Amino acid sequence: MESIQSALKQWTKDKNLEQRLENARKSLLADPFVKGALDKIPVTDDAIDQGLIKLYEFKNERYNCENCPGLAACPNMMQGYQPEIIFARKAIDLEYHSCSLKKQAESAKKQRQLMKSLYVPKDILTATFDELDLDRDRAEASRKALEFVVNAKPGEDGQGLYFYGPFGVGKTHLMGAIANELREREIESFIVYTPDFFREMKQSIGDGTFQEKLDMVKRAQVLILDDIGAETISGWIRDDVLGAILQHRMLENLPTLFTSNYDYDELEEHLAYSERGGIEELKAKRIMERIKHYTTFVRVEGANRRAR
């Protein structure tokens, strides 16, 4: 008798469990997210019964998304991903796709990677055409800058710009605006402050990173050499660094942009001198022929903004 009573209790307990499971099933299938997803795919009752765990996972993940706490605090199993119910090989399964926040974060990361810099102030890297002081003195330079951004085709057209003008007239800010606009077009740019870059290239010989750094600059879709002519020149810098960069970019039709306080003739004279006191006019002329042929000379004028 005792064993029969125990069996009856167990049977009653199992029946209650079965009822609870059925109620949970009905509640799950009535959920708006689950019902809406299942209505869109041809799925059998057997597949639903076999896929209840997947459906439960789908429901929980979608409600996490509905009450999103932000990408960094995302509670989903795959942070930043949303599930989608699919029916494949007669079974319910889930596919995960990037959510809108994940896509934004990935896009922002990609955008950051598109604009690289060396030794350039942060305010230059955030410059835009909207915030620039586009007065009459800078009208021509601004127009040329915008034309370049709109028409830039690295790999097809290697024509760049040469912004010449005195200190503080906004040459570098214009280049920063160009780099940011190129980023919006998903065109990679590399903007470097030339004197510090050349100095680092000398030091990189000792640590074995010279070729890696040289290749990184050589291969940028758009290269901006800021303040060329302000460096202490040497035959090695001129021929093995600057010359190598320009030669590669010329052959690959990659645009190079420059800012300088020197015009073409003054820069050629600067490049002819070496730190040892010699004059090498022919080598300087070779460099300048590449610069002249592949850039449009643009005079940037106006008041010195730095003096304000």
Question: Using 50, 70 and 90 to split pLDDT, how confident is the model at 8?
Answer: very low
Q: What is the pLDDT of residues 110-129, one digit of tens each?
A: 545 555 667 777 778 788 88
Question: Using CA atoms, how far apart are residues 35 and 226, in angstroms rounded to an integer?
Answer: 60
Q: What is the pLDDT of residues 225-260, one digit of tens each?
A: 999 999 888 889 999 999 999 999 999 999 999 999
| 44's tokens | 């059998």
Q: What is the pLDDT of residues 260-294, one digit of tens each?
A: 999 999 999 999 987 666 678 899 999 999 999 99
pLDDT score of 1: 44
CATH of region 109-307? 3.40.50.300
| Contact call for residues 84 and 37 (beta carbons, < 8 A) | yes
Q: What is the pLDDT of residues 142-153, one digit of tens each?
A: 899 999 999 999
| Contact call for residues 163 and 257 (beta carbons, < 8 A) | yes
Question: Using 50, 70 and 90 to split pLDDT, how confident is the model at 137?
Answer: low
* Residues near 46 by beta carbon (within 8 Å), at least 6 away in sequence: none
| 171's tokens | 């040459």
Q: If phi over 0 gives left and psi between -120 and 50 gives alpha, with beta otherwise, what is residue 157?
A: beta
| 281's tokens | 């006019």
Residue 28 has pLDDT above 70, yes or no: yes
> Cα–Cα distances in Å, from 208 out to 34, 154, 203, 213, 235?
58, 29, 9, 10, 21
Residue 307 has pLDDT above 60, yes or no: no
Nearest to 112 by CA among 125, 127, 99, 94: 125
Q: What is the dihedral of CA 295, 301, 305, 308, to 10 degrees?
A: 170
DSSP state of 130: G
Full-model pTM = 0.65
Counting Cβ atoms within 10 Å, is residue 14 exposed (0-12), middle (13-18) or buried (19+)? exposed
Name the residue ranges covered by the structural domains of the chain. Answer: 2-102, 109-307
| DSSP labels, 60-108 | HHHHHHHT---GGG--SSSTTEEEEEEEETTEEEEEEEE-HHHHHHHHH
DSSP state of 242: I
Beta bridge partners of 259: 163
Q: What is the pLDDT of residues 188-214, one digit of tens each?
A: 888 899 999 898 888 888 888 889 889
Q: What is the pLDDT of residues 13-25, one digit of tens each?
A: 566 777 787 887 8
